[in-house]
Amino acid sequence: MKPHRAGLLLASGSALALLVAACGGSSSSAPQHAASQVFTYDTTAPVMDDGWDPATEYSDGIIAMSNMYETLTRYNAVTHKIDPLLATSWSKSADGLTWTFHLRQGVHFHTGRPMTAQAAKAALMRTIKLGGGAAYVFSAVKTISTPDASTLVFHLKYAAPVDLAASAAYSAYIYDTQAPGGGSLAKWLNAPHDSGTGPYTVQTWNKGQEFEVILKAYPGYWGGWNGPHYKKVVFRVVSQDSTSAQLLRSGQVTFVEQVSPSVWQSFKGDPGIRTVSAPSWQNLLAQINSKTLDLKLRQAISYGINYPGIIAALHGAAVPSSGLIPDGLFGHSTDLPNYTYDPAKAAQMLKQAGYGPGGKPLNLTLTYTQGDSNEQVVATLLKSSLAKLNIDLRTQSLAWPTQWAKAKSSDSTNHQSIFLEYWWPDFADPSTWFTNLLLTEHPPYYNLSYYSNPALDKQINKVDELTATDPTAGSQLYHAMQVEVLQEAPLQALYNVNYQYAMRNSFTGFVSNPAYAGVVFVHNLKPTG
Amino acid sequence: MIEAPSTLPTGGARLPRGQTLRRGLAANPLLVVGGLLSALIVLIALLAPLLAPFPGDAGTATHPFLVLRPPSAQHWFGTDNVGRDVYSRVLYGARISPLIAVAVLAIACAVGIPLGVAAGYFGGWLDEVIMRVTDIFLAFPPLLFALALAAVLPASITTVIIVIALTWWPWYTRLVRGQAASVAGRPYIDSCRALGISRRRIIFRHILPNSITPLIVQVSLDVGGVILTVSALSFLGLGAQDPTPDWGLMVAEGQNYFLTSWWVVTFPGIAILVTAFAFTLLGDGLRDLMDPKRIFLR
Amino acid sequence: MIVYVARRVALAVLVVAGVIVLTFVIAHLVPGDPAATWAGPHASAAQVAAARRYLGLDRPAAVQLLGYFGGILAGNWGLSIHTHRPVLSDLAAVAPASLELVTVALIIALVVAVPLGLVSARWPGRAGDQAIRAGSILGVSMPIFCLALILQLVFAQRLHLLPVAGEYSPGLLFSHPLTRVTGFGLIDAPLTGNWPMFGSILSHMLLPAVVIAAYPAGLLTRMVRAQVLDTVGDAHIQMVRALGFGERAVFGRFAMKLAWNPVAAAVALVFAYSLVNTFLVEAIFDWPGLGSYATASITSLDTPAILGVTLFIALVYVAANLAVDIFQAAIDPRIRLR
């Protein structure tokens, strides 16, 4: 074709494209009326990979589930008290072995059935029986009785704070076990369906896709829908920080769970965006392989980690930690023999074992979770500071399921030397750092330092009951355990996470609650935009 | 790497000499630019330890208190997310990508030339077999085959070299085979055979030298392509691992900070672009220089 | 003609068979024991042995290959580890979005390349030609993931001209949901009269398509220029000139017509090449196609999915080659007489 004709075609073609783009594009840049009723939560990894069963969910799924399901009580991080939710009041007997909960009236499951004490009991018993997730929070429970339709009584084997357990982020949901009629509940739930009492119910699940989960309002919610509320909740999986930032700036997402610190800083000054910095109960752990690395090596490695460097590099996303238990939880202590960055001491300890600068090189592997830029920075800094000690640390980034499967594999030659992961409590109680990470496990599940210390096991199994009956003694035991763990160095808490949330300021009512990591209770928000 | 080998007349393909060369160069400013740029990059690669202000940053050194600093007098290209000097790392990166490219193309030639000459000279069933096998390998776009292999093998520079070389050799086999077949069919080769000259002498003195010239051009054109493939594999995490200052890896690591710290991605990206551009320009110019038609058209 | 087509098809079948064998070989290069992976992390030795029998890994390699072959032809391409779905159904779900994207990219590339190549060939050696040649070499030298990041930053974030990421704007999920008929958004939307969705998809597609078009545009410009320059010296072009046609007609009508043949061949090849380039671009724009699926498979070490994608694209490549060969033979009788 003639060049000038081609040029004309080119010009008209691009004009047409731009015109169409303008029509289509305008619907994405200017917020529509319908859009202000939709709360879009931007997360970096898929939310419902663990399945749809509220009894066994033990991962990021609570971000969505906490809007579909509810618990008997909820922990209030501002007042440090336990608030009523599905239970309106409760009391315990003098010896602490009997807890009586009075349930809220007029609550219905999304299946239409009313929430009665029998239904609540059935849910809790199923959760306890399945034993998955954080079901251990109810390990003190012997039996549950239902004297009438709105009273739930827990009979315990030993004293334990049931109100706190009932507020757990995992495995404490109340759901309708009769949902599928006669069939398997697990299958029905994974269809997906939900049988919760919460303000939202599942509308769609696009597994493996960007708009992963869509929730819609449940009209019969006991909390009601008076006043401005979000009618839909969308969970959008966006793996890249820069994309999330741009989506937030253009208003296409409402809330961003996590971005790198520098991107978070760049939001300040943007009139449409609100940044929230809040403490968390989450820390980053380096679990050191106790089977392949003996005590001296573990301690040397612990001295070879550049703690202040890591915190500086993370620009406000990290604060120094003391011991295993984060600040704000029972048992936290600043009076502990924490490790400092002491390369000279580390070199000396390594030399005694024949390693270190001038000695044999030590070859280690580290795995961390793919998609987390902070973990990548930490891994690089670890590699760098250990390289100075003649330790060659090979770092590998893997998708979380792959990272975890590799650590749990029955072929122990496949196990990493250092496992990087975040840890946070299932409920407002510090025992999880010990029961999940340090109890002897065959085969390994979360004890990915493969550590076994029978004396410590005894202490761990005792501490819950002790805390319930004698808090001072409990606090002392936690202190002793933390000292032991520091000296044995099967794992190190590298830092405590500082939440850096970013959201549109088109709504009010957001409160960061460290007891429910990453959860936004959307019904409590009031859209203003 | 999609381009079919150039439509060079096989007979007179030789590098021009003397005056013709100078005239050819003057007519081809792009070749001059390409040549100079390529030479500059090689020079930088050789002198990197002397030019880099922070040579340790190309290794395991980090500076956690200097992360993500913008370009300044102390750090010309700024610092990355663990405080390493981007300028030093970009300079050292000039050693990696071109070196990988040289290794890859050397292997590809080492495999492709003998196979191509054998197929072209002997013909018959040997030719058929070699060509069919080549066809099968050529059914994969280069990056794809390299990717599939790299995804199943442990990620490292060695893997990258092997994997890309495996993808590249078929092109050269085909190119050399075409040339060898054409030369082998010429009357004077028959004369050689009639005179009783040994097969080995015929292959090494006559077939081989005449088949390789277009290959030289193709190789210089391909350096750019290999560098792009290497950087793509590194970007996907399948190539060099941290802390190796591979340009593609630097872009991959920096993309999360791109919004607030544009320098972490931009400078390695420009390095990839300039290097690929320079060598492709060089190859393009070389091809033009050797094409007799081109000279007449001026 | 029939003989030619038959020979070409037979060759293509042979190549496909070889491709399948090659992917089998790659699959077995994976370090580690697939039986152990299948049996899970808590399996005992007996369970792993049972898994090995179940997966047929205890049979000789040749038998395994035959089984693999049969499986591929029957449509069993394995189970994806990260989506837990059959790889073939995953591919069917994600391929349309990428095929759409690459098609639009190639259209953009042709619209740019043909006029530029013609201009370059019309006045060879001049400043314009040098600039266009430099520009086209720039196009093929550009690291595509850098271009994607830069364009996204400039056009979406700084200038707010185009959307940042995704396939369509999220509000439309509720107001104008798209009913999938063919799986291709650009076809389904107008088919169901959903014009807002059509516009949204097009505007979201523009940036990634431009990025992917860079390499083909550069390549095709060079091709058009080379081919036109080649034919312009030919005898029949001399005759066209002798007949009195102006230079514009010589280049536009006659030379370009002859150049189409090799250019069409190049388009087919670069289609498959661009499909692979989507791996580097789709994740940046959150475009839900083959590229995003491939990158997700790579990061989760999902070997069946990676090989499925590889096989799929190789098949597309072979099919495209075959189609172009037959098309060329149909148009140009000299080819099939060779």
3-state secondary structure string, C288-299?
A: CCHHHHHHHHHH
A492-519: pLDDT as tens digits: 999 999 999 999 999 999 999 999 988 9
Are residues C279 and B132, on separate chains, in Cβ contact within 8 Å?
Answer: no
pLDDT band for B263, please (50, 70, 90 cuts). Answer: very high
Is B161 contained in some domain?
A: yes
Is B2 contained in some domain?
A: no
Reduce the DSSP state of residue C79 to 3 states and report it: strand
Q: Are B177 and B118 within one domain? A: yes
Percentage with pLDDT > 70 across chain A: 93
C17-45: pLDDT as tens digits: 888 888 888 877 766 566 665 665 555 66
pLDDT for residue C44: 65
pLDDT for residue B52: 92
In chain C, residues with a C-beta closer than 8 Å to the C-beta of A23 are: 196, 199
Residues in chain B: 298
- Of B191, B214, B239, the residue that ends a domain is B239
pLDDT band for B212, please (50, 70, 90 cuts). Answer: confident
Kindly tell me if the per-residue pLDDT of B147 is higher than 90. Answer: no
d(CA C218, CA C136): 4
C46-64: pLDDT as tens digits: 777 777 777 667 777 777 7
Classify residue A45 by its DSSP letter: S
- Of B239, B257, B283, the residue that ends a domain is B239
Kindly tell me if the per-residue pLDDT of A25 is higher than 70. Answer: no
Are residues B258 and A242, on separate chains, in Cβ contact within 8 Å?
Answer: yes
Are residues C165 and A21, on separate chains, in Cβ contact within 8 Å?
Answer: no
Q: Residue B208: give its domain's CATH number.
A: 1.10.3720.10
A182-216: pLDDT as tens digits: 788 888 998 899 999 999 999 999 887 788 999 99
Percentage with pLDDT > 90 across chain C: 13
What would the DSSP string read from start to end of C122-135? HSTTSHHHHHHHHH
Give residues 143 to 182 of B whose Cβ lies within 8 Å of C.
143-145, 147-149, 151-154
Domain of residue B291, residue span: 27-54+77-96+240-298
Q: By the 8 A CB rule, do A257 and A42 touch?
A: yes
Q: With an 8 Å Cβ cutoff, is B255 touching chain A?
A: yes
Q: What chain B residue is nearest to A258 in terms of C-alpha separation?
A: B256
B92-105: pLDDT as tens digits: 999 998 889 999 99
Is B114 contained in some domain?
A: yes
Is B188 contained in some domain?
A: yes
Helices (H), B7-85: 18-27, 29-51
Q: State which residues of chain C have pLDDT below 70.
A: 30-45, 55-56, 170-171, 173-174, 235, 252, 254-258, 332-338
Nearby residues of B45 by Cβ (< 8 Å), 6 or more positions away: B94, B95, B98, B99
Nearby residues of A344 by Cβ (< 8 Å), 6 or more positions away: none
Q: Are B230 and B250 within one domain? A: no
Q: Are B138 and B213 within one domain? A: yes
Nearby residues of B190 by Cβ (< 8 Å), 6 or more positions away: none
Neighbours of A271 (CB within 10 A): 6
Q: Are B297 and B223 within one domain? A: no
Nearby residues of B59 by Cβ (< 8 Å), 6 or more positions away: A387, B243
Q: Are B216 and B154 within one domain? A: yes
pLDDT for residue A413: 86
What is the pLDDT averaged over residues A136-145?
Answer: 91
Is B108 contained in some domain?
A: yes
Kindly tell me if the per-residue pLDDT of A48 is higher than 50. Answer: yes
Is B194 contained in some domain?
A: yes
Classify residue C179 by its DSSP letter: P
Q: With an 8 Å Cβ cutoff, is C42 touching chain A?
A: yes
In chain B, residues with a C-beta closer than 8 Å to the C-beta of A399 are: none
Is B83 contained in some domain?
A: yes
pLDDT for residue B24: 62
Is B72 contained in some domain?
A: no
Q: What chain B residue is nearest to C20 in terms of C-alpha separation?
A: B136
Structure tokens that stand for A446 in this block:
């979360």
- pLDDT mean across residues, chain A: 88
d(CA A337, CA C113): 69
Kindly tell me if the per-residue pLDDT of B11 is higher than 60. Answer: no
Q: By the 8 A CB rule, do A475 and A298 touch?
A: no
Percentage with pLDDT > 90 across chain B: 34
d(CA A231, CA A226): 12
Reduce the DSSP state of residue A19 to 3 states and report it: helix
Radius of gyration of chain C (CA): 24
d(CA A288, CA A297): 10
pLDDT for residue B294: 45
Kindly tell me if the per-residue pLDDT of A11 is higher than 70. Answer: no
Percentage with pLDDT > 90 across chain A: 65
pLDDT for residue A22: 44
C158-179: pLDDT as tens digits: 777 777 777 877 667 667 777 7
Neighbours of A336 (CB within 10 A): 17
Q: Which of A496, A492, A495 is nearest to A303 (CA)?
A: A492
β partners of residue A75? A82
Reduce the DSSP state of residue A73 to 3 states and report it: strand
- Best mutation target among A20, A28, A49 (most C Cβ atoms within 10 Å) is A28
d(CA A302, CA A293): 12
In chain A, residues with a C-beta closer than 8 Å to the C-beta of B260 are: 262-263, 265-266
What is the pLDDT averaged over residues B188-197?
Answer: 81
Kindly tell me if the per-residue pLDDT of A87 is higher than 60. Answer: yes
Kindly tell me if the per-residue pLDDT of B166 is higher than 50. Answer: yes
Q: Report how many helices (DSSP H) and strands (DSSP E) chain B contains, helices first.
A: 12, 0
What would the DSSP string read from start to end of B74-118? SSTT-B-TTS-BHHHHHHHHHHHHHHHHHHHHHHHHHHHHHHHHH
Is-cis flag, bond preceding B243, omega within 30?
yes
Q: Are B104 and B218 within one domain? A: yes
Q: Are B275 and B298 within one domain? A: yes
Q: Are B132 and B224 within one domain? A: yes
More confident residue, B292 or A436: A436
Structure tokens that stand for C1 in this block:
């003609």
Are residues B243 and A240, on separate chains, in Cβ contact within 8 Å?
Answer: no
- Of B202, B219, B239, the residue that ends a domain is B239
A266-292: pLDDT as tens digits: 898 899 999 999 999 999 999 999 999
pLDDT band for A84, please (50, 70, 90 cuts). Answer: very high
Q: Are B92 and B217 within one domain? A: no
pLDDT for residue B214: 78
pLDDT for residue A2: 39
pLDDT for residue B20: 64
- Best mutation target among C164, C260, C290 (most A Cβ atoms within 10 Å) is C164
Nearest to C14 among B132, B149, B251 (CB): B132
Q: Are B110 and B199 within one domain? A: yes
d(CA A332, CA A329): 6
Q: Are B271 and B182 within one domain? A: no
Classify residue A235 by its DSSP letter: E
d(CA A38, CA B228): 42
More confident residue, A12 or B29: B29
d(CA C105, CA C82): 29
Q: By the 8 A CB rule, do A253 and A306 touch?
A: no
Phi, psi (rounded to 5 degrees) for C118: -65, -45
Q: What chain B residue is nearest to C305 in terms of C-alpha separation?
A: B148
- pLDDT mean across residues, chain C: 81
Reduce the DSSP state of residue A134 to 3 states and report it: coil
Spell out the long-range contacts of C132-135 with Cβ–Cβ below 8 A and sequence spacing 24 or more.
C132/C221, C132/C225, C133/B30, C133/B284, C133/C222, C133/C225, C134/B30, C134/B281, C135/C218, C135/C221
Amino acid at B230: V
Residue with tokens 């073609």: A13
d(CA C187, CA C178): 11
Q: Which of C102, C151, C107, C206 is nearest to A24 (CA)?
A: C206
Q: What chain B residue is nearest to C308 in terms of C-alpha separation?
A: B148
- pLDDT mean across residues, chain B: 83
Q: Are B37 and B107 within one domain? A: no
Integer CA distances (angstroms), A500 to A26, A274, A374, C330, in order: 30, 11, 12, 64
d(CA C205, CA C171): 17
Torsion-angle region of residue B141: left (phi > 0), alpha (psi -120 to 50) or beta? beta
Reduce the DSSP state of residue B236 to 3 states and report it: coil
In chain B, the number of structural domains is 2
B34-44: pLDDT as tens digits: 899 999 999 99
What would the DSSP string read from start to end of B173-201? HHHHHHHHHHHHTSHHHHHHHHHT--HHH
In chain A, residues with a C-beta closer than 8 Å to the C-beta of B83 are: 313
How far away is chain A from the Cα of C116, in angstroms, using its nearest Cα? 8
Q: What is the pTM of this model?
A: 0.81
Amino acid at A152: L
Q: With an 8 Å Cβ cutoff, is B9 touching chain C?
A: no
More confident residue, C41 or A300: A300
Helices (H), A168-322: 185-189, 241-249, 261-266, 295-303, 307-313
A163-179: pLDDT as tens digits: 999 999 999 999 999 88
Q: By the 8 A CB rule, do A156 and A96 touch?
A: yes
